[in-house]
Amino acid sequence: MITPLLCVSGLTTEFQTDEGLVRAVDGVSFDIPPGGTLGIVGESGCGKSVTALSIMGLLPRPNGNIQSGRIDYRGEDLVAADNARLQRIRGNEISMVFQEPMTALNPVHTIGRQLTEVVAIHTDQSPAEQIRTAVAMLQRVGIPAPELRMTEYPHQLSGGMRQRVVIAIALICEPLLLIADEPTTALDVTIQAQILDLISSLQKDFGMAMIMITHDLGVIAETCEQVVVMYAGQVVEQGSVFDIFDRPKHPYTQGLLRSIPKLTDIPKQPLDIIPGMVPSLHDLPVGCRFANRCQHRAAECDDAGLTVDTVTEGHSVRCLKWRQL
């Protein structure tokens, strides 16, 4: 078996809030081989971004804390690593791209400065070399007239251009792992297609692994090999992209796939729905967290102690009834 590049096990992240302690991520486990692509999908607030921030060591302090679990990166537990070590890893070995490019860019610095700064931190290139590296990277992400763009500010670029710059910054040190948190959600479909195409070609060239966070099942199907489905802070199902789309076992995954409008549907027919809504993190049931919306719910679903069951090698599900469905 290939040693995973990243292995997250039992990750549990909590926030101190006005209404008390909130467990945003509860026992999340998955791993990624070198060069692999893993998708994380799930409803708003289910813990996708908090999982990513936990890996990056970017949780808002002091309110956010990893309560338990391990994040093993090439044999090193990042949960135990100190800040200096995490800073060296970030941007150099593990990079992140956020949904809103403006949050990742500094509005008062030129594009060029923001790129060369990263190179300066992580390499010992001379200033002239840094500029050459930056220009080459802008070219690589498809920005026309890169020398000119180096002197411009983020507000002078369109949304799609900005996201390209953010990707350029994330990839300029050729990281081993890219975490992309909804990288195209704010963009138009034609621009999304350009960006996804760009990310996957860069991924191939650099041989880097990727975690793709999105709520768009289309993006998951097109870009990912492995898929993690999250619901209310927990992983409810995970497997290969074919396990998840061809033989989903969890009632939530099944419901989700059935409820999306498809281009092949006959127009104006009622859609399948998942009734109700996600329970609040402040008021979680002890049993299955999907139970209040589940059509297969039985009395024992509400009992504590629901665990993850293996369907086949690499495909697991957190549901008591999956065999009967």
The residue from 48, 249, 250, 293 that contacts ligand ATP (CB under 6 A) is 48
What's the min distance (Å) between Cβ of 310 and ligand ATP? 25
Q: Is 132 in the site for ligand SF4 (CB under 6 A)?
A: no
How buried is residue 28: exposed, middle or buried, by Cβ count under 10 Å (0-12/13-18/19+)?
Answer: buried
- Of 162 and 249, CB closest to ligand SF4: 249
Q: Is 7 in the site for ligand SF4 (CB under 6 A)?
A: no
What's the min distance (Å) between Cβ of 15 and ligand ATP? 4
The residue from 7, 89, 94, 256 that contacts another protein (CB under 8 A) is 256
φ/ψ (deg, to 5) at 317: -145, 145
The span from the CA of 236 to the CA of 230, in Å, is: 6
The residue from 5, 8, 38, 46 that contacts ligand ATP (CB under 6 A) is 46
What's the min distance (Å) between Cβ of 319 and another protein? 16
DSSP code, position 317 = E
Of residues 235 through 264, those in contact with ligand SF4 by CB under 6 A are 251
Enumerate the β-bridge partners of residue 211: 38, 179
Q: Kindly provide the b/e burial profile for residues 222-237, where b requires at least 16 CB atoms within 10 angstroms of the residue's own CB.
A: ebbebbbbbbbbbbbb
Angle 302-306-311 from CA coordinates, rounded to 5° = 125
Give the distance from CA 222 to its chain's centroid: 15
Residue 239's closest CA among 39, 1, 44?
Answer: 39
> Site for ligand SF4 (CB under 6 A): how many residues?
11
The residue from 56, 209, 291, 311 that contacts ligand SF4 (CB under 6 A) is 291
- Of 13 and 214, CB closest to another protein: 214
Task: Determine the interface stretch with another protein among 6-14, 17-25, 189-197, 314-322 (rule: CB under 8 A).
Answer: 189-197
The span from the CA of 98 to the CA of 78, in Å, is: 21
The residue from 74, 113, 122, 296 that contacts ligand SF4 (CB under 6 A) is 296
The residue from 290, 311, 315, 316 that contacts ligand SF4 (CB under 6 A) is 290
- In sequence order, what are the residues at sequence separation of 6 or more whose Cβ sits closer than 8 angstroms to the Cβ of residue 219? 39, 184, 192, 196, 212
Q: Which residues bind Mg ion (CB under 5 A)?
A: 49
DSSP code, position 2 = P
Q: Kindly provide the b/e burial profile for residues 131-150, where b requires at least 16 CB atoms within 10 angstroms of the residue's own CB.
A: bebbbebbebbbbeebeebb
The span from the CA of 88 to the CA of 121, in Å, is: 9
The residue from 55, 56, 119, 219 that contacts another protein (CB under 8 A) is 219
**Which secondary-structure segment (H or E) carries 231?**
strand 226-231
The residue from 109, 126, 242, 298 that contacts another protein (CB under 8 A) is 242
The residue from 36, 39, 57, 64 that contacts ligand ATP (CB under 6 A) is 64
Q: Is 297 in the site for ligand SF4 (CB under 6 A)?
A: yes
DSSP code, position 90 = B
Q: Which residues make up the interface to another protein (CB under 8 A)? A: 43-44, 144, 158-161, 188-194, 196-197, 215-222, 241-242, 245-246, 255-257, 259-263, 265, 267-275, 277
Q: Which residues make up the interface to ligand ATP (CB under 6 A)? A: 15, 17, 22, 24, 42, 44-50, 60, 63-64, 215, 281
Q: Which residues make up the interface to ligand SF4 (CB under 6 A)? A: 251, 288, 290-291, 294, 296-297, 301, 319-321
